[in-house]
Structure 1
Amino acid sequence: MINFIMLVGAVTAIGLAPTSVRAHGLSQGAKHAGLIIFDICGAGALGFVIVKSGFAHVALQQLTHLIPIIFVPFVLAALIETAQGSRVVTAVITAEVLAGSEVITSIHPIPLILLISAGSCIVSYVTDPFFWLVQRTTGDDIKTVVKEYTLPIAFAGIGIFIVAVMMEYLFFGTISAS
């Protein structure tokens, strides 16, 4: 149903836009659409390989023994993000790996979602296809893209992490370390 609603919204927006705006928007949007689709499909395929290879499950087992359980979703997402790049795919893979583990029963769902989201923002660098899309679109050098794209996203991830940990401890009770 949501896909249908989004399609109707897109068709309506295109239909209501003046011809000059519509032509320019379609031209600019189509120029990057292939890269965005490639980003999501490529990251999804690599994410599937990561899950099926057992890497993520081994990392989860190691992490639950080494660090407090509150940090596990964040660190696991950061590891997966580093390996395959896409934040959306990272969030999905991390949630899939955590499903059925002691982590999801130990952390309230709201902080858990925030922890996964925060971890998927930490390493938006060379493995992130969107990093290269930003670099290509802006024409900036890599140092500038790191300064104006990678670092702000990492700082946002750290901020979300802090909020999630505070929420877990203040509103949902203290969790135990594994």
Structure 2
Amino acid sequence: MVRTLVEKAVRRSGVVLFDLCGGGAIGATLAMTGAGEALDRLFLQLSLPHILVPFLVAAALQTVQGSRVVTMLVAPSLLLPLVPELGLPPEILILAMASGTFLISHVNDPFFWIFGELAELKPSEVFRSNTLLEAF
């Protein structure tokens, strides 16, 4: 009985735990490589408005790897060296990153497939309905 319950729980929560652990590992790895400092130099040279920096970092990560959870774990690791330079309150940084994760949704995003499944749409229809709507 207990074994069956544990197996059910692991099946349902395993993907989420794997996603969180993987995202944390990617974030820590990127932080150790100095990717945050490289981004720091790049954004300082571009002279972007400070509010756009966390938004664009999250949007780029989301577009490349697809998972919003992983994006929200990795983006802070990359942005940490920039925080003093940006001078934004932590709440604004989080909101900008969260907004960036919703810029685009395509086939590597689990939400793309959930949306298509629930709406009973083909992938081409999801592109037209969900992906384009999220971008605007």
Q: TM range, normalised to the smaller chain?
A: 0.5 to 0.7
- Alignment RMSD, CA only? 3.1
**Percent of pairs with identical residues:** 28
Farther off after superposition, 47-56 or 141-150: 47-56
The alignment status of 1:126 with 2:103, answered yes or no, reads no
Change (3 A) 1:49 1:56: same
Structure-2 separation of matches of 1:105 and 1:152: 30
Is 1:101 the counterpart of 2:82? The answer is yes
Alpha-carbon distance change, 103 to 125 in structure 1, aligned in 2, over 3 angstroms = farther
Q: Per the alignment, do residues 112 and 43 of structure 1 end up closer, same or farther by CA in structure 2, a change over 3 Å counting? A: same
Corresponding residue to 2:43 among 38, 52, 63: 63
Q: Is 1:49 the counterpart of 2:36 in the alignment?
A: no
Mean Cα deviation higher: 50-59 or 65-74 = 50-59
May I ask how many residue pairs the two structures share in their alignment? 123
TM-aligned CA distance change 1:101 to 1:150, over 3 Å: same
Counterpart residue number, 2:56: 75
Q: List runs of 5+ in structure 2 lacking aligned partners.
A: 1-7
SS at match of 2:15: helix
Between stretches 36-45 and 111-120, larger displacement belongs to 36-45
The unaligned stretches of length 5 or more in structure 1 are 1-29, 156-178
Q: Relative CO higher for 1 or 2, CA cutoff 8 Å, sep ≥ 6?
A: 2
Return the TM-score normalized by structure 1. 0.54
1:152 corresponds to:
133
Amino acid at match of 1:83: V
Q: Give, in angstroms, the shift of residue 125 of structure 1.
A: 0.9
Residues 54-92 of structure 1 show CA distances to partners (whole Å, capped at 9, x for unaligned) of 485233432332242331101111111112211232122
Asked if 1 retains the 8 angstrom alpha-carbon contact of 2:23 and 2:70, the reply is no
